[in-house]
Amino acid sequence: MKPLTTEQIRAVIARGKTNDLIFKSLGIFCLALALLVIVALIADMVMKGSERFTVDFFLNFASRRATEAGILSAWVGSLLVMLVTACAAVPLGVAAGLYLEEYAKRNWLTSIIEINITNLAAVPSIVYGLLALGIFVYQFGFGQSILSAGLTLALLILPIIIVSTREAIRAIPAMIREGSMAVGATRWQTCRYHIVPYAMPGILTGVIIGLARAIGETAPIITIGALTFIAFLPPVPLTETGQGTAGLFDWLMSPFTVMPIQIFNWTSRPDPAFEVNAAAAGFVLMAMVLSMNAVAIWLRYRLRKNIKW
């Protein structure tokens, strides 16, 4: 092989640098495209939906006339379903994470649980809907209610909460546990007074990300049979309804609709007037989800900055 001349070597270097530059531009282009999609999405919904951003839109029920239709039953439904989801998923997820990090011995049972959690995260969300349809709706007889929907979404986001709890607990150094045990605390007391409080910001981040995912989930809730047209609110506890006083938990069994289903309903109507409603409702949902995500990102950023063991 003949040695290269200086000119040829310069040409090789120049070509390498050009290729680097081309790839760098490609990378920036791809990132810009991702950003552009977010911006286009939000801009489109704001422009199309702006005429619906009135108080009435938030206080009206769904209606056959696009201009009078609102999202009252949808946002109330979303809020109540999220309440059930949080009440079920947070204690379960934190307890499971605590068990796997602080209690579990390395045995077959633990590895089954761990493999299971990883695999559950890859199961399509609509399959959870089928699970809920078979178990919650028919087997347990919860019906097509807020309770069924909340529990379904709780199962869906359980892996997210467990994983973030475990990561938060793993970041706590062993000396904290040793110090606590050295003064005579039991394992549970160590968890209760040290591990859980110190892991709290990390757990909270996971909970918020999980709930942000749940509030935008549509498929499993459609599968259990949420209605798309609801012109009433779930009964408020201890108030007078048509059939006597509502019990404290009657709202759990009420039929409901949620924001994503309302958007789906409006998007799939042929009348373009409903596109405006879909855009406005989509923007409201985006605002909810993005602000939850922003809180989580901020929380994690602060966390990384402040904690030095």
Partner 1 sequence: MNHAMSANLPSELPTISDRLAKNAMRNLTERLIEFMLLGAAAVSVLTTLGIVYVLVSESITFFAQIGIVEFLTDTQWTPLFDDAHFGIMVLVSGTLVSSFVALAVAIPMGTVIAIYLSEFADSRVREMAKPILELLGGIPTIVFGYFALLVVTPILQVIFPSLPGFSLLSAGLVMGIMIVPYVASLSEDAMRAVPMSLREGAYAMGSTRLYTAIHVVVPAAISGLAASYILGISRAVGETMILAVAAGMQPNLTWNPMEPAATITSYIVQVALGDLPHGSIGYQTIFAAGLTLLLITLLFNILGQWLRAKYRENY
* 123-142 binders of partner 1 (CB under 8 A): 123-131, 133-135, 138
* 205-264 binders of partner 1 (CB under 8 A): 209, 212-213, 215-219, 222-225, 228, 260, 263-264
Rule CB under 8 A: is residue 4 a binding residue for partner 1? Answer: no
Residue nearer to partner 1 on the CB measure, 131 or 253: 131
The CB-of-282 to partner 1 minimum distance in angstroms stands at 5
Please spell the DSSP secondary structure of 191-260, one letter per residue. Answer: IIIIIHHHHHHHHHHHHHHHHHHHHH--HHHHHTT--S---S-PPPTTSEETTEEPPTTGGGGS----HH
The CB-of-42 to partner 1 minimum distance in angstroms stands at 10
Beta bridge partners of 244: 241
Rule CB under 8 A: is residue 35 a binding residue for partner 1? Answer: yes
Please pick, from the candidates 4, 8, 10, 31, the single residue that binds partner 1 as defined by CB under 8 A: 31
The answer to whether 172 touches 198, Cβ cutoff 8 Å, is yes
* 269-298 binders of partner 1 (CB under 8 A): 275, 278-279, 282, 285-286, 289-290, 293-294, 297
Rule CB under 8 A: is residue 87 a binding residue for partner 1? Answer: no
The CB-of-241 to partner 1 minimum distance in angstroms stands at 26
The CB-of-112 to partner 1 minimum distance in angstroms stands at 7
Q: Closest Cα to residue 231, out of 262, 209, 200, 204?
A: 262
Task: State the Cα–Cα distance between residues 11 and 3, nearest whole angstrom.
Answer: 14
The answer to whether 110 touches 104, Cβ cutoff 8 Å, is yes
- The conformation of residue 307, written as its DSSP 8-state character, comes to -
Please pick, from the candidates 71, 98, 207, 246, the single residue that binds partner 1 as defined by CB under 8 A: 98
Compute, in degrees rounded to 10, the torsion defined by CA atoms 103, 108, 113, 114.
90
Residue nearer to partner 1 on the CB measure, 128 or 251: 128
